[in-house]
Structure 1
Amino acid sequence: MLQGEEASFFVLCDGKTALPLGTAQDHKRVGEGDTGPNTGGMGAYSPAPVLSEAVQERAMERIVRPTLREMSRRGMPFQGVLYAGLMIENGEPRLIEYNVRFGDPEAQVLMMRLGGQVLDLIQAAAEGRLDEVSVAWADDHALTVVLAARGYPGRVETGVPIRGTEGLPRSSVQMLFHAGTALQDGTLVAAGGRVLNATARGTTLQEARDRAYALVDAIDAPGLFCRRDIGWRALGPVQDAPATSQPT
């Protein structure tokens, strides 16, 4: 086993150049305090404090760049999104896995922070000119909360109605992403395990969390549940989480 704290590191590659794109931290366990079975992700926040600039550079030098050099040597240079799942212990990154995609729910927090510039960065990667561009990061934070169907990550209840989404804000600081929803006779219903992602930005992680949970609390969907402690590794445990946030 690997001990430490898990975090996600995203890099754009054009076959020659690797451009760090951002960091995030996911919450895999279904229950508060990281308890219960693993899921595809119950929420995430960005940036990940454990992935400091120094740790990111170690990951680039020891893990990412050697991988890309070897792929080029083998005649199959990598071009696209590289998602490195890392375990960090005492400032030392170790690789758990690679994915060649944006993760979910990490993508939601990354996209909220990157905004429209991500299209230019992806185009530069596709055209082999990442060495000409840079990422313009705002000094901000983003957090997303997954609303899942009862029973997730096991057998879930589908077809349960979801109300209250029509009047929610859709802005650069608050956004509700749909994942497992459908329209049934004109009514929005749950149609999967992970159903919605309430996502928000803020000047602090606490502000981002408050805004994300404000979206959650505006939704009328008794058939959905969420974790009430997303971001707890950075902000500390949440006391007295509402009972309705627990899966049944």
Structure 2
Amino acid sequence: MSLSSTISPAPSLADQAFAALVDAISNGELEPGSRIKEAEIARNLGISRGPLREALSRLESNGLVERKTNLGVSVTSLSIEDLDDLFKMREALEGQACGLAAERMTPLDITHLEEMLERHADTTAQTGHYKQMTADDDFHFFIIEKSGSRRLFRALCNDLYQQVRMYRHRSSSNLIRSETALTEHADIIRALASGNRRKAEDAMRLHISNARENVLWVENKIE
């Protein structure tokens, strides 16, 4: 095997722009409905319009931005009905993924989740905001990955995952909901540790159902 085949290529300017915009959308810096000012963003990222437009095309295919005639590009803004549908879909699919994960989790996996939750609890206590900013530190992402289902992983961790992150940031700024979510995550870990598929699925479905109600409440207030 040649050395070149073992080294991953450096991310292109378009890749870097895509990652930066995903982060900005996920952390609320670019809110749903806000217009993408290409010249300003290109200048801030230190790149030309070409790589930026390539990144925007990828964001559009992921459902994170949308183009409107004569209005340019803006961050996707989902209606209350779309959000309701998104979270109901997530509840069904992620509940199933959690059930599958319960049958595959090792003691080391459970320990990893417990340590992750401790970090999240510390951050929430300091900021009053439950943040999971990267896929590597995302409670749900880890469980879905451990389900062993590639189809569920693709369905939940690509377009759906990004859109959930976009709205999760706004709803998780509610301290009461953040603390409740931590408790629900602890319940999910206990269910996973039991190895009981039904118990794990029910715990995840309850958590996402509660998250859906909170997201809809927050978005209704904003509207």
TM-score normalised by L of structure 2: 0.30
TM-score normalised by L of structure 1: 0.28
More RCO (CA 8 Å, sep 6+): 2
The structure with the largest helix share of the pair is 2
The structure with the largest strand share of the pair is 1
